[in-house]
Amino acid sequence: MASQTRDPAAASAAASRKGAEPSRGATWGPVGKWLQQELMTLMMSGDKGISAFPESDNLFRWAGTIHGAAGTVYEGLRYKLSLEFPSGYPYNAPSVKFLRPYKWPATYDVRTILLSIQSLLGEPNIKSPLNTHADELWKNPTAFKKYLQETYSKQVSS
């Protein structure tokens, strides 16, 4: 007799490997229901400058956008990111591709993760910089903003 328990994320991963989209509805299981709730919470929050939505019909992969917060050197810039949700979500927090292998606390939801990234842009931890050049420039906001605009323009145009 076949097992009645299914891992929707494993089914999603298997479908992705085969190039197919995961099926909807009951096969998403409790994780899918949780992600649908996350999406609704994010859509209803009214938070300015953040958004995220599932990529096509794949509820386990989302495309997000963060706008630079007003009053920071990032104001007027927009960043795209990709979120992937593991099989144990919400107990295993989602990964954000450019932050791997950073692990978010399990108490964070998608909304708080996006807001935290937006906040970190305006108030980085310069005592432990990954980019020492940016750390030096951060001390001079005008120079930092010039460098940021040049780098952003190159990345957006490519």
Q: What percent of the chain has pLDDT over 90?
A: 13
Q: 95 or 67: which carries more pLDDT confidence?
A: 67
Q: Compute the distance between CA of residue 6 and CA of residue 119 in angstroms, rounded to an integer.
A: 38
Write out pLDDT tens, residues 73-132: 888 899 998 888 776 666 566 666 656 545 666 677 889 889 988 888 888 777 776 778
Contact 36, 44 (CB under 8 A): no
Q: What is the dihedral of CA 79, 80, 84, 90, to 10 degrees?
A: 50
What's the CA gap between 74 and 71, in Å, rounded? 8
Beta carbons within 10 angstroms of residue 46's beta carbon: 6
Domain boundaries, the chain: 30-99, 110-157
Q: What is the mean pLDDT of residues 3-24?
A: 42
Cα angle 129, 130, 134 (rounded to 5 degrees) comes to 70
Two tokens at 112?
């708080």
Dihedral of alpha carbons 129, 65, 56, 92, sign: positive
- The owner of tokens 């001390």 is 139
Cβ distance 142 to 135 under 8 Å? no
Residue (of 125, 85, 131) closest to 108 by Cα position: 85
CATH placement of domain 30-99: 3.10.110.10
Beta carbons of 84 and 104 less than 8 angstroms apart: no
